[in-house]
Structure 1
């Protein structure tokens, strides 16, 4: 049953404590003037921006047994969902896109006061063609109508800013740990800006998608993240959504 494989409340709190590292936005790859466009199934993808939490990228945190600098808790950088997406697009297009993979857990913790122009200055200046947003897990439970309204307004504001910045194709992924209130808001906000919504929560019904099913971790919060199989499933869902997107 779903309740048997989803993180317990104490584990979720541990995960929240994992996600305090805010990583700088480093540009991966190079696209030179005059080069042909990187195109993935009719979608221009010269520049790709990933925005998420520790599932997207988390720096080394020895105190919790995490030494990577990629999506927690993939076994290697190449196995996290963002790098899987980049590899698939590069293989299909015949050349590699540029990318920024940024942790915006600060939005999840402080969404009511989040200033995208300040917090995402480099990411906005990057002018991405494709933006993939994968967040929500660290947002405190939306147990009241004011909380839901505030998260809706903040999410709408963030996605509109991303859309108006460079008119990218916008993909929004649902929470890996399903949350009906959060996922409904993410979906509505995504649809309102003409984005593509990707359902990812079904994977949490299968214990084999969690990192703890693949190897041992000293920290339960790290172990509750998607493992290599879970990361592949997230990447596959995003890629399938892009393949089937109508021009």
Structure 2
């Protein structure tokens, strides 16, 4: 037989219970506040990359094809075009070897109605002339001449390009040479990657036979990992500077003329898609800035050293 013992239950201490609940609530509140502050700090410090990733989720990626570019540069183009400020000081010479981004004539069939680097709204706003002004501001007393040569034929005819056509450019003996090439190279075709590398190295070395110019090559404005790797090899092989342009449209689509919201030109007159994927005024300004960073650090540093 089991005998149940009567137990006396002690009353609940409500005062202690309230204190314990209050302490637990305060600890929980402080912990949550610390967590929120920590998340906020991380979010603020990473805000630019978070915004960029968020924008990229909804942004339609621009894919560049050779078909879009075939309409460009199909017009008789002079070996070079030249611009000088005709000042009385010592001559300083700039040479840009590029493609349609550097210089394109009027071609009404495609809806391109003015001479400039495509797709700047005026010649004064293309990267070549913006860069010229930056250099001129650093050398206000110098007689500065700039030659621009469209080498799209080199990009499209690597095996058969006639290097005699560059004699006038080599004999110009520039102080700065910018090689803005690669956009029109059909890299997906067999043997073209190796051929591009070899011909590009040979082209650059041709200019090393006279003088000691500051030489810069750029990666294509139209992003291409394979082309970037080739141009890296070319820069290392020839011991010249390399300036990356391919990151510009990847970080901000307004570097493309077609995506520039406040573009001052008339996009409705364009008859081919290829124009819009070129840099507009924003893209041109950013290209000039990227190039000038290297020129400013390398060329004008040595100029200052000479005066000291």
TM-score by length of 1: 0.87
Structure 2 counterparts to residues 119-138 of structure 1, below 5 A = 119-138=165-184
Q: Deviations over 1:43-83 (max 9, x none)?
A: xxx10000111000000001111012110110011100000
User: 1:186 aligned to 231, 235, 242, which one?
Assistant: 231
User: 1:232 aligned to 272, 276, 285, which one?
Assistant: 285
SS at match of 1:123: helix
CA contact (8 A) 2:115 2:122 kept: no
Q: Deviations over 1:190-225 (max 9, x none)?
A: 222221100110112121111112342422111110
CA contact (8 A) 2:255 2:282 kept: yes
Give ranges in structure 2 of 5+ residues lacking alignment: 1-55, 303-308
- Which region of structure 1 is more displaced relative to structure 2, 87-96 or 219-228? 87-96
Report whether the alignment pairs 1:204 with 2:254.
no
SS at match of 1:7: coil
- Give the 3 Å change call, closer, same or farther, for CA 110–153 of structure 1 in structure 2: same
Report the count of equivalent residues: 234
- Provide the rounded CA distance (Å) in 2 between the counterparts of 1:86 and 1:202: 23
Q: Which has the higher contact order (CA 8 A, sep 6+)?
A: 1
- Provide the rounded CA distance (Å) in 2 between the counterparts of 1:31 and 1:193: 33
Q: Give 1:47's aligned residue.
A: 93
SS at match of 2:115: coil
Q: Give 1:113's aligned residue.
A: 160
Report whether the alignment pairs 1:29 with 2:84.
yes
User: 1:7 aligned to 55, 58, 63, which one?
Assistant: 63
Q: Over aligned residues, Cα RMSD in angstroms?
A: 2.1
Q: Give 1:41's aligned residue.
A: none
Once the two structures are TM-superposed, the CA of residue 235 in structure 1 deviates from its matched residue by 0.5
- Give the 3 Å change call, closer, same or farther, for CA 166–20 of structure 1 in structure 2: farther
Report whether the alignment pairs 1:172 with 2:217.
yes
SS at match of 1:82: helix
CA contact (8 A) 1:5 1:204 kept: no
